[in-house]
């Protein structure tokens, strides 16, 4: 009995150390009356509003030093390696390690799930994606282009321990689902920081009117960067007294990964144009893309009618693509969705204590609301009241 009691006591102590306690209820931007732009959202206001897209997380919190994880974005339910999707990559500021980017630049194809993680875990996560692809696709595959983005969570996470395993990546893949996406301090956003507050994973979507094609654009972000936070034009960072260049002490380096999905039939060069516009959404939140920030965008289309089939048949293939003038509404959609996804990553994140006892506070929603009311930038709607 004494041994059993000690085991139970140890389990309680260990569990309490594993999970930082945070009781404050968190909200998405629209639940607070923060409505970005003019276009309507999809059902879930998430990247998963793009049909076929799934998102999965593996959150890793261990002891008082490990605060990290993996997030995966899967473009469709089939065999991605055998049924590749059009894809493009854009570096707004290339201080980072984005695995798989050069082949995407050259071929314009995505052949594995997109994985997000921490900086020093990129090789291990890439290796896991290779192993997953070999096991899923079979055959005598001799080349796999794993796609892995990263931000550095080393302030809250003892990043040098490189704890992420193949099973962690597999867990994230197997947990992937459509519908609502968990946001905030989860998956690859577990240990991230944005604008001096707790950052994380955020997502949003936009749907074009039927007369403009009815296409959906979804965005997911991993936020770990700085600047002067602006929400719907209100200088929130200045009002809260936490912003880049304050007393020339505050740093704004870090990174953001922006994943863009659409069901519009776009070629890789058109997807790159779409990816570039995501940086405008980032800028609207107050980021200057500093020297030390790895700001990357990867964009793909799920539309099966624009996929070029991998085949030994050299004859031309027929595909469907939008004309270039049809891209302008999609540009508006990606700017709005990126901006709102970043807000969601901040507003849903919870206070986290991690490596060496460092504590990063969640952005105070009550104070944010006061500032937004002061600048009259809230847009209350019956659908978006506080619960």
Helix (H) or strand (E) holding 59: strand 54-62
> For residue 22, is pLDDT > 70?
no
Phi, psi of 80 (to 5 degrees): -65, -35
Given a contact cutoff of 8 angstroms between Cβ atoms, the answer to whether 75 and 85 are in contact is: yes
Among residues 255, 287, 301, 345, the one annotated as catalytic is 255
Residue 17 maps to a domain: no
Task: Give the end-to-end CA distance of the chain in Å, rounded to a whole number.
Answer: 46
Among residues 178, 287, 293, 301, the one annotated as catalytic is 293
Pull the structure tokens for residue 233: 């034009």
> For residue 6, is pLDDT > 80?
no
> For residue 4, is pLDDT > 60?
no
Q: What secondary structure does DSSP assign to 140-187, as a single string?
A: -------EEEEE--TTTS-GGG----HHHHHHHHHH-BSS----BSSG
Burial of 366 (0-12, 13-18, 19+ CB in 10 A): exposed
Place of tokens 């090789």: 123
Higher pLDDT, 221 or 247: 221
In order of 89, 155, 192, 301, 386, the CA distances from 99 in angstroms are 11, 22, 19, 20, 40
d(CA 198, CA 119): 18
Is-catalytic flag, 175? Answer: no
Pull the structure tokens for residue 370: 């006061």
* pLDDT tier for residue 15 given thresholds of 50, 70 and 90: very low
Long-range pairs, 239-247, Cβ under 8 A, ≥24: 239/367, 239/371, 239/374, 240/363, 240/364, 240/367, 240/368, 240/371, 242/195, 242/196, 242/197, 243/195, 243/196, 243/286, 244/288, 244/290
Residue 359 maps to a domain: yes
Q: In total, how many domains does the chain have? A: 1
Q: Give the total residue count for the chain.
A: 387
Place of tokens 């030994």: 312
| Range of weakest confidence among 20-29, 117-126, 167-176 | 20-29
Residue 367 maps to a domain: yes
Averaged pLDDT for residues 294-312: 93
Is-catalytic flag, 79? Answer: no
- We report the CATH number of the domain holding residue 159 as 3.60.70.12
Residue 8 maps to a domain: no
In order of 324, 340, 346, 370, the CA distances from 374 in angstroms are 41, 20, 20, 6
Across 7-21, 239-253, 268-282, which has the greatest mean pLDDT? 268-282
> For residue 175, is pLDDT > 70?
yes
What pLDDT is stored for residue 364 in this prediction?
96
DSSP 227: S
DSSP 40: P
d(CA 25, CA 68): 22
Residue 24 maps to a domain: no
Residue 141 maps to a domain: yes
Domain interval for residue 251:
29-309+322-381
Given a contact cutoff of 8 angstroms between Cβ atoms, the answer to whether 60 and 164 are in contact is: yes
Instruction: Dump pLDDT digits (tens) for 95-128.
Output: 999 999 999 999 999 999 999 999 999 999 999 9
Residue 139 maps to a domain: yes
* CA-based nearest residue to 345, from 123, 10, 26, 8: 26
In order of 57, 61, 290, the CA distances from 293 in angstroms are 24, 25, 5
Is-catalytic flag, 253? Answer: no
* pLDDT tier for residue 138 given thresholds of 50, 70 and 90: confident
What pLDDT is stored for residue 335 in this prediction?
98
Is residue 254 left, alpha or beta, with left meaning phi > 0 and alpha meaning psi from -120 to 50? left
Among residues 287, 295, 301, 345, the one annotated as catalytic is 295
Residue 4 maps to a domain: no
**DSSP SS3 for 75:** coil
């Amino acid at each position: 009995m004494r041994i059993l009691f000690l085991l139970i006591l140890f389990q309680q102590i260990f569990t309490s150390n594993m999970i930082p306690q945070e009781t404050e209820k968190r909200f998405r931007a629209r639940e607070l009356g923060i409505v970005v732009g003019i276009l309507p959202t999809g059902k879930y206001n998430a990247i998963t509003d793009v049909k076929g897209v799934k998102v999965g997380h593996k959150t890793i919190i261990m002891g008082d030093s490990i605060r990290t994880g993996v997030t995966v974005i899967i473009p469709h339910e089939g065999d991605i390696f055998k049924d590749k999707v059009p894809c493009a990559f854009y570096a707004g500021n290339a201080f980072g390690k984005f695995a798989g980017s050069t082949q995407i630049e050259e071929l314009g194809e995505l052949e594995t799930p997109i994985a997000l993680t921490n900086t020093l875990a990129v090789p291990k996560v890439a290796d896991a994606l290779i192993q997953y692809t070999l096991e899923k696709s079979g055959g005598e595959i001799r080349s796999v282009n794993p796609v892995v983005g990263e931000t550095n969570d080393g302030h809250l996470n003892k990043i040098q321990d490189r704890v992420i395993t193949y099973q962690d990546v597999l867990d994230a893949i197997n947990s992937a689902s459509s519908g609502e996406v968990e946001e905030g301090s989860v998956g690859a956003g577990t240990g991230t920081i944005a604008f001096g507050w707790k950052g994380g994973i955020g997502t949003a979507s936009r749907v074009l009117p039927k007369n403009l094609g009815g296409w959906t654009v979804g965005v997911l972000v991993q936020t770990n960067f700085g600047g002067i936070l602006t929400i719907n034009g209100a200088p929130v960072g200045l009002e809260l007294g936490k912003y880049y260049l304050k007393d020339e002490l505050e740093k704004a380096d870090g990174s953001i990964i922006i994943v863009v999905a659409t069901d519009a039939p776009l070629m890789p060069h058109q997807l790159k144009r779409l990816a570039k516009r995501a940086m405008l959404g980032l800028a609207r939140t107050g980021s200057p893309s500093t020297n030390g920030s790895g700001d990357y965008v990867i964009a793909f289309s799920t539309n099966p009618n624009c996929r070029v089939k991998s085949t030994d048949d050299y004859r031309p293939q027929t595909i469907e693509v939008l004309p270039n003038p049809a891209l302008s509404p999609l540009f508006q959609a990606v700017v709005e969705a990126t901006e709102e996804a970043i807000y969601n990553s901040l507003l849903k994140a919870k206070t986290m204590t991690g490596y060496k006892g460092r504590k990063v506070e969640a952005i105070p929603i009550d104070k944010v609301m006061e500032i937004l009311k002061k600048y009259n930038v809230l847009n209350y709607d019956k659908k978006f009241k506080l619960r």
